[in-house]
Chain A
Amino acid sequence: MPQAQSSDMLNFALEQKKRLIELARDPMLHEKLCDLSYDWESNVCNTSAEIFQILKDFGVTEGTSQLNRHGRLLLGRLAIHFSEFDDGTQPIVGSYTISKRIRSGKNSVIFKAHHTLLKTPVILKMIRPGASDDIVSCLQKLSNGSFNGSLVLPNDLIRVPTKDVCGTETSVHCLVFPEEQGSDFSDFLTEKNSAFNALLALAFARQVGETLAELERIGAYHGDLHPHNIRVVHSKDGAISFKLLDVSFGSVGSTSLNEAKNDDLQNYKHLISRILSVQKSYNSQVSLRRFLGTRHFRTLKSILSSETKDFRTALYHLQDQASHTTYVNAKNRFINAKFSPPTSFRLQRYEEFTNPSAASELFVPFDELHKKISGFGNSFVSGNRGSGKSTYLASLAYFASVEKPVCDFRHVFGIYFACRQGELKGFTLLKARDPAENNRTLVSILILKTMQRTLEQIVEAVAASKLRVTTDLSDLSDFLNAIIPEPGIIKLETRFISELDNILSTLTRYEVSESGRVAGGQECTGRILDGQDLIRFFGLVRTTFSELSTTRFYLLFDDAGVPYVPEQVQKAINELIITSNPIFCVKVTAERNTYNLSTISGKELEHPHDYVEHDISATLFIGPRSTGSGLDHRRLEEYFRKIVNFRLREFGYQGHDILDYVGDPVGGSQTLTNRLAAGHPNTSYFGWTTIWHIADRNPRNLLEIVAEIFNVAGIDRDTKPSWASMRDQNRAIKWISDKKLQALSQISGAIEVGGKRVSLGRKLFEVTIVIGATFHTYLRQDGRNLDSRKARQHLAIERNDIRGLSGSAELILQKLITYGVLDDSRIGVARDDQLSKPFYVLNRIYCPAFRIGYQRDDHLKLSVGKLELLLTQPEQFRKQGTKRLRDGISDGSAQIELFGYDIDALSEKQ
């Protein structure tokens, strides 16, 4: 349509509306209407009356003195008000007694009434003259539809006598509808606490969409789809459904079929948007996309798009499976193209469950350790970085996607929290409130998250047919309803949304909202939960899902040390630890010295009463066979070889034994130490024994070294097994060692040393360099007159006395242990005072960087003063610390060039 023409039409319509309003407000309207003398039966009027002229101008007259349908409708709106039914006398029309007017519309007026004899409540819809063309055939058409009760159809059509304002008698059609119980959809949307879960919009779209599509199919429409015409009805089991009231098909005045259908569609879209808008307002910390999930989001987005022009298309989107499959395929292509899956162990960091299925298959546990960790009971798993803490813990977790899980979920059902990724980090704003309440709130949030996570896994498992629901869900639903504030779980018809999905969606909605509130420092809105609630919840899970009837639940908090989990939250976790019960236990991993083992009330957790500690690094410590306190080195070697060999097989390498690639020369260790002591220029680190010792009980180090050797030597899956050259192995091992040493300088954090705030990483790096340089100096001095004597390698620091260290020195020592530079898991009898005290053994991964051997032959024995000097002023220690150091420096042997770092420059900075 040309723009000018369209504009003219709009102006004309506006002018008409203006004149009509003026007419309705005219104080002489009554007189003017009576002057028209309109006879409703014969459709004849006084053509000289002013109103006739106005109607003629509107183009709603026909012939010389008659009104067309639109004219009758206009006149009816002005002249027929049905006011005789409002006089409070409860007038009777047909078999019905009117009790009150509900509302007046352009085309009809709605009254509440009841059957006079049966007292059945009904709704009467009186259709204005001219609003309907042929209401009877329209009703017949509606009766052809199949609506399953979702559309409330009239059960009677009567003629009701009435009068216009001038007293002229006429009669109008009146549709009699059964009155539906339930609430008005508009109230439902605006009720206080009308927090909906993510599936409500979808349930609405499906149910109402089906009804409207059926209307469309039979060539009808609703015609008046606004919130007051939608009833939210609760069935006997409490599920809600949406019933469309007041169908106006055939009684919408002059609106064309297409216009009416389009109005239905726009109103339908608008109502879906309103639900989404309400949902968004209650969960502002997540986007609708995330809240709904991609599948549902895309469905609703398609429906709301301008491309959807009829209900058939809307229904198609609601039933469309292919579109989501296409998306999933595109997603997989995208992820695989962008993030290439690791094709060798080069990219597969040992401790990461980057892909639970692959990681589960690649997991090579140390059996004794795994048995201990996987037993039911509270555990604290510690160990150096890369020792595999996370892998051990994650192996207990239940992932529905994993086909070959390490644990049978019928016995062990692990709920995994990857704390390092920050889930629990945000709960730190609570400090401003009452401490006791803060603490209870934190415990409550942990429990809520656990329940949500458990149910999320269960829903995935049910979807994957790994679990069955064996009882009805009412007990579980009742339990959660007692936790979740009003409106709780809004039951949806299971025909549209499964009950389990609906429960999870509601719990997720609540958990998102509560987590957001607590992280923002606000109060919880619901009941504060405690350990007993969690026990009841798990009990209900057991009875609801038969496969889980005897399982025990493991709460797995991985990397729960500071800074990933604040101390307050750690204490809340500890509260769960002391909730002694036979149904769930708590397992925590953290780096050394980063986890506070006390509860909110100040109780120190007791070992082994409350928990058992498993230190992976200590377990894998090689000890003297005579005392039986350590591990036989052959067992460790076999275990490490198994880790590598397993991956060689898994990634399809030609050889399945690492010895075929790196060899294992006899007597390597002492020869290496002797050559290093003598300062032999062509000394190489190579061979399997050197590799696994240098890895120092750390699978991540081991895999990185092997991967780097393969990289340097150009070994890939198709390479025929043969030993990589000494030179290549040495180069790779030294490269990894240098990188590990250098990585220390990039550890984040700050500490106070001498009243100055300094970088933790740089400080650790400086101390480590001086420790390494010291050991190097000692080795070189030992190598001066070696002859046939074996060189002895200093590799640990031993305390000469047991006095405590100063604050900053102690802190640095603890951090060196936390980050695995020093290992304190070995306690021995010191030679000077015969007291038991820890030896601080340097991580062997740094040995190649310092050009020292990996045997621990001797310890550097230090007094408190010297140790403090080493830790707080490392360079000063190197210059003055021991006589041997001073001697060593004078002959230059301590000068080690480390990838451009001049260690002498360290002192200048201090």
Chain B
Amino acid sequence: MTVVEITPEKNLCEHIDVLIVAAGFEERSRRILRDFPFQSDTLVLLIGYDNEIGLNKQIIEQFRSIAKKRFRLELIQELSLVGRDLDGFRKQFLDRISEIPSGARSVGLDMSGMPSDLMCLILDALRSSQPYSEIFALYTAADEYIPTKNEYLELCQRQGDEIDYVPNTMALEMAENRTFSPFNGYRSHETNACLALFAGYEAHRSTGVIEDINPSVLLLIYGKPPAANLDWRLDLSRRLHRKFERTRRCSVETVSTQDVDEAIGLLDEYYTYLTDDYDLIVSPICSKMQSLAVYLFWERYPEVQLSFPIPIGYNPERSPIGFSSSYSYKMPSRVTVSIEGP
């Protein structure tokens, strides 16, 4: 299974029967809904966010408007994530999924506007209730990410090799480190725990999850953007997490932000050697495709705990800007994943 680039012209979404899309405030999160061709009878599940961010009402209206222009009215259904009530959302989502006509075999899940906990929850609900459906994970990259390159250069100049924080990220400070069923995992190794942290650019969330779990060993996994001109982001991520490299028993790895299989392969390798002695906890504070890899890895080894550091809120003004390429990843069959071990 590989990630393939898709465009409105060279589209792999035409055969999708159900499109699930979340109304994120980044521009990229509406790209596929707005610009890609679909079948005339494609069902759209539109997920809105109902929380303290006032802008969300406006955003969901924009998504609604786009959907109405492009899809049949009776085929547009809406769901809402109220606050952080993931349990309530799961029930709502499963109800809707159960109403999908049996002929619908192909589901497109646009992850661009979803936080990683919601994404994992939807994937689990979807793959549990629709085990025989083809699921395509869809994703649109942003044109420019926050912090910008200029901000990065400034940070390097001011703080050097070990940058302690990035002021004003999109995700605000961390509120809690959340685990929830079915991602609680199973612990059995008393003191020994390995935290595999897909480290992004929000050092406060990394700190939160590391302090919270206090793992015996730390696996820091940095994301390497596919484009060479974005190498600075890898460097920034490393500088932001340098303090953990210095003060913890730590292993450092780098994987592509886009290659799902590479990330799974890396986790598999560590799992192979750690599982008898360490409980593995994985925290995805990273790219969408890496979050997807984390989910697939959990499917294979459900005793692994997924830990989501939840921010106290988001700052829409610091969200990624614009959109660039879109990608699709056809997910492997769940049956195959669960029976075959490495």
Contact = CB atoms under 8 A, between A and B. Distances in A.
Best-buried of A335, A418, A429, A520 by chain B (most CB within 10 Å)? A418
B184 A289 contact: no
Contacts of A100: none
A563 B172 CA distance: 20
A521 B300 contact: no
Given A746-B208, A750-B175, A900-B159, A519 B184 contact: yes
Contacts of B186: 285-286, 290, 512, 515-516
Given A284-B302, A352-B216, A335 B273 contact: yes
A280 B180 CA distance: 21
A346 B247 CA distance: 7
B211 interface: yes
B302 A286 contact: yes
Contact of A289 (B175, B216, B248, B301): B301
Contacts of B192: 354
Contacts of B203: 746
A535 B192 CA distance: 28
Contacts of B307: 422
A468 interface: no
Contacts of B200: none
Contacts of B34: none
Contact of B249 (A341, A515, A747, A761): A341
Interface in B275-322: 275-277, 279, 281, 300-303, 305, 307, 309, 312-313
Contact of B204 (A354, A420, A559, A761): A761
B173 A762 contact: yes
A574 B164 CA distance: 40
B208 A750 contact: no
B339 to A, nearest CB: 8
Contacts of B234: none
Interface string B177-215: 101111011111011110000000001110110011111
Interface in A879-910: 899-900
A347 interface: yes
Contacts of B276: 293-294, 331
B187 A423 contact: yes
Contacts, number: 175
A340 B249 CA distance: 7
Chain A, interface size category, equals: 35 or more
Interface in A513-548: 515-516, 519-521
Contacts of B95: none
A423 B341 CA distance: 25
B251 interface: yes
Interface stretch (A202-210, A312-320, A737-745): A737-745
B312 A759 contact: yes
A673 to B, nearest CB: 29
Interface string B207-229: 11001111111010000000000
A426 B279 CA distance: 15
Contact of A334 (B165, B273, B279): B273
B213 A749 contact: no
A343 to B, nearest CB: 11
Contact of A748 (B174, B180, B301): B174
B158 interface: yes
Contacts of A397: 190-191
B214 A421 contact: yes
Given A334-B273, A746-B203, A750-B312, A421 B193 contact: yes
A349 interface: yes
Contacts of A512: 186
Interface in B76-98: 87
Contacts of A418: 190-191, 193
Given A746-B207, A748-B175, A297 B249 contact: no
Nearest to A288: B341
A482 interface: no
Given A342-B249, A421-B279, A758-B312, A354 B213 contact: no
A746 B165 contact: yes
Given A287-B300, A422-B281, A519-B181, A331 B273 contact: yes
A747 B208 contact: yes
A456 B185 CA distance: 19
A52 interface: no
B250 interface: yes
A425 B208 contact: no
A352 B250 CA distance: 14
A441 to B, nearest CB: 15
A549 to B, nearest CB: 24
B122 to A, nearest CB: 18
16 contacts: A285-B185, A285-B186, A330-B273, A353-B216, A354-B217, A354-B249, A421-B193, A422-B185, A429-B87, A745-B204, A746-B174, A746-B211, A748-B205, A750-B173, A761-B174, A899-B159
Interface of B: 52, 87, 158-159, 164-165, 172-177, 179-182, 184-188, 190-193, 203-205, 207-208, 211-217, 219, 243, 247-251, 270, 273-277, 279, 281, 300-303, 305, 307, 309, 312-313, 338-339, 341-342
Given A285-B186, A301-B341, 4 more contacts: A331-B276, A335-B273, A352-B214, A512-B186
Q: 6 tightest A-B contacts by CB?
A: A759-B173, A748-B208, A426-B184, A748-B174, A746-B207, A338-B251
